[in-house]
Amino acid sequence: MDTIQVGLIGYGLGGAVFHAPLIDSTPSLRLAGVVTSRGDLVRRDRPDVPVRPRAEDLFSDPAIGLIVISTPTATHFELARAALLAGKDVVVDKPFTLTSREADELIALARRQGRLLSVFQNRRWDNDFLTVKRCIQQRRLGEVYYYEAHFDRFRPAVQDSWREAPGPGAGALYDLGSHLIDQALHLFGMPESVAADLLAQRPGAKATDYFHLILHYGRKRAVLHGASLVKEPGPRFIVHGDAGSLLKSGMDPQEAALSAGRRPTGSDWGREAPEMFGTLTAADGSRQRIETLPGAYQDYYQGIAAALLQGAPVPVDPADSRDGLLVIEAAERSAAEARTIAMGERMRPIDKRRP
């Protein structure tokens, strides 16, 4: 089989801006059906792709091998479970599920079914993160002792969206924090403990719109921060080591490019202007501009295709995203109890399905 038929569930921001264009840009993948209440948008954007009324229509179609789930977080577990039981390979949007327990159930089910399961943690392929990662791996900063990552926005008005409504899986910690947590775990592994401050800060906010997490790694700290009332953001990444410091500002351009209808082709994809390059200050005080690596969201679905057709490892192991949920759970407990939570501490689960 040279071409994998893909069924997409959900055509909101994730489905329309990220998944569908990236699937279209992967030669060995073909979007063969979409389940959404926004069928008019699918017919406008992709008149050759059928709109299906129910997820079960994709699950029962023998021609469709891969199901992509881009729906509200609270629906991920049941949809992924049904797809796996129907014998489909599955990609789930981040955050993986509501709880680490649900994530473990899906991982075990995929193993029993012999099916691929992966989570779309696309911001591992942000241009700034790729650059920071390379500098750390090349030990340009020596031994790293402090890492700080931001996902700040200026949105004073609360939006009419499930992400900002009260309920399970909503709020900035799940929506944006899951990206920063995945990046930190990708670099440093699981922390020893987590301390967190979570707030619904804006007037009228009913879900978390401010988070500040401190991940403890011995003498190293990873600080992950997101807020909705930041008009003038500082550096997006700040990394300090015993050989120097790296500061990187700006935002990866790929989401804006995809929203504008561009596709990940050409040598300029994911690149930014030199004035946006980060600055590395060495221990001797010398300063150097660090050219930003090109962002590469397309690598995720190319990796999925390689895993399905060539047996390569999945681009994101679902166990990584399960670990991210463990950090989110520890952060929620830390904020609720105003204390640092040791990872692995036995805790009573929080009922995330309670309104």
In this prediction, residue 355 carries a pLDDT of 34
CATH number for the domain whose boundaries are 124-296+330-334: 3.30.360.10
Ranges of the chain whose pLDDT falls below 70: 1, 346-355
Same fold: 4-120 with 124-296+330-334: no
Beta bridge partners of 52: 35
How far, in Å, CA of 37 to CA of 51, rounded? 9
Of 126, 117, 106, the C-alpha closest to 186 is 126
How far, in Å, CA of 252 to CA of 98, rounded? 27
User: Which CATH fold topology does 4-120 show?
Assistant: Rossmann fold (3.40.50)
pTM: 0.94
Whether the CB-CB separation of 25 and 18 falls below 8 Å is answered with: no
Whether the CB-CB separation of 104 and 111 falls below 8 Å is answered with: no
The two beta strands, 64-69 and 237-241, are unpaired
Instruction: Tell me which DSSP letter residue 88 carries.
Output: -
In terms of C-beta density within 10 A (0-12 exposed, 13-18 middle, 19 or more buried), how is residue 342 classed? Answer: middle
Q: Tokens for 100?
A: 């680490």
Q: Where exactly are the structural domains of the chain?
A: 4-120, 124-296+330-334
In this prediction, residue 64 carries a pLDDT of 98
Give rounded-to-5 percent helix, strand, coil for the chain: 35, 25, 40
Inter-helix orientation angle 76-85/100-113, to 10°: 10
Any idea what the Cα angle at residue 297 is, between residues 105 and 292, rounded to 5°? 125
In this prediction, residue 162 carries a pLDDT of 86
The two beta strands, 117-120 and 341-342, are unpaired
Instruction: Tell me which DSSP letter residue 87 carries.
Output: T
